[in-house]
C-alpha cells in the first residue's frame, strides 16, 4: 500500500516538474526579451505536465484536480497549433494526445453511481473542501480560457497580464486546498509559480507603460 502511494506521488511530482519547468523557461525567456513571451516549449511542457497530473488526479480520486486539467488541456493543444508546432507531431501521437483525456473520462463515467460515490462522497475529502478545491481549479483553469479568447482575438498565441493575475488568484486557493488535503504535490507545484506570476505581471505592466509613452 505504501509503495503504491509513493508511485502515485512520484507521478504527481513529475507532473509538477514539467509545470515548474515551463514557468521557469518562460520566465527566463521573458526576462531576456524584456517582454512577456509565449514560447512553444511552454505549451509542450504544459501538455506533458497536464497529461501526468490528470492521471495523478484519477489515482488520488481527486475530482478537483481532474476538472482543472480537463478544462485547460485542449487549450494547450490549440496554442501549439497556433504556433505551428502541432503539424510537426506525428499522427499517432496526435490521436493519443486528443483521445486520452476523453477515454479516461469515459472510463470513469461508465459507472456513474460509482463515480459519484468515489469523487463526491469521498470520506477523505469533505464536500465543502471539494467545492473549494474545485473552485480554485476552475479559477486557475479560467486563465487559459482567458488566454485562449485573448489570443484568438489577436490571432497569435500570447500570455497577457490578465493571465498572470488570474494565475495568482487560482494558485492561492489551490495552495489553501492542498494544505487541508495534506497534498505535497500541489503545495510544491503551486508555490514555485508565485514569483514567476508576479514577475510577469511587472514585466507586462512595464511594457504597457512603454507602449503608451
- Cα separation, 152 vs 196, in Å, equals 24
Domain that holds residue 32: 2-212
- Cα separation, 118 vs 55, in Å, equals 15
* CA nearest neighbour of 186 among 135, 136, 121, 113: 136
Structurally, the chain folds into a number of domains equal to 1
User: 62 and 182 in contact (C-beta within 8 Å)?
Assistant: no
Residues 6+ positions from 113 with CB-CB distance below 8 Å:
none
DSSP characters over 152-177 = HHHTS----HHHHHHHHHHHHHHHHH
What pLDDT does residue 212 have? 47
Each residue's pLDDT tens digit, 119-156: 556 666 777 887 888 888 888 888 999 999 999 999 99
User: 140 and 170 in contact (C-beta within 8 Å)?
Assistant: yes
What pLDDT does residue 119 have? 56
What pLDDT does residue 74 have? 92
Each residue's pLDDT tens digit, 162-198: 999 999 999 888 888 888 888 888 888 787 788 889 8
Total Cβ atoms within 10 A of residue 32: 9
What's the pTM? 0.80
Each residue's pLDDT tens digit, 25-74: 999 999 999 899 999 999 999 999 998 988 888 787 777 777 778 878 99
In Å, what is the CA distance from 82 to each residue of 14, 39, 42, 69, 183?
27, 11, 13, 20, 35
Cell of 119: 469523487
Amino acid at each position: 500500500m505504501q509503495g503504491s502511494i509513493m508511485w502515485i506521488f512520484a507521478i504527481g511530482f513529475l507532473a509538477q516538474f514539467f509545470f515548474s519547468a515551463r514557468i521557469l523557461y518562460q520566465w527566463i525567456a521573458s526576462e531576456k526579451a524584456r517582454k512577456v513571451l509565449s514560447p512553444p516549449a511552454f505549451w509542450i511542457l504544459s501538455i506533458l505536465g497536464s497529461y501526468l497530473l490528470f492521471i495523478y488526479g484519477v489515482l488520488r480520486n481527486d475530482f478537483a484536480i481532474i476538472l482543472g486539467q480537463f478544462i485547460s488541456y485542449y487549450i494547450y493543444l490549440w496554442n501549439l497549433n497556433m504556433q505551428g508546432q502541432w503539424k510537426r507531431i506525428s499522427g499517432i501521437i496526435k490521436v493519443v494526445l486528443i483521445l486520452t483525456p476523453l477515454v479516461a473520462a469515459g472510463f470513469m463515467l461508465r459507472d456513474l453511481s460509482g463515480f459519484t460515490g468515489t469523487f463526491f462522497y469521498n470520506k477523505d475529502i469533505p464536500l465543502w473542501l471539494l467545492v473549494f478545491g474545485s473552485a480554485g481549479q476552475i479559477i486557475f483553469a479560467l486563465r487559459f480560457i482567458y488566454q485562449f479568447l485573448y489570443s484568438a482575438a489577436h490571432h497569435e498565441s500570447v500570455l497577457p497580464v490578465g493571465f498572470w493575475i488570474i494565475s495568482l488568484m487560482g494558485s492561492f486557493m489551490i495552495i489553501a486546498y492542498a494544505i487541508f488535503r495534506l497534498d505535497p504535490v500541489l503545495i510544491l507545484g503551486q508555490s514555485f509559480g508565485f514569483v514567476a506570476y508576479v514577475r510577469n505581471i511587472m514585466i507586462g505592466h512595464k511594457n504597457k507603460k512603454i507602449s503608451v509613452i
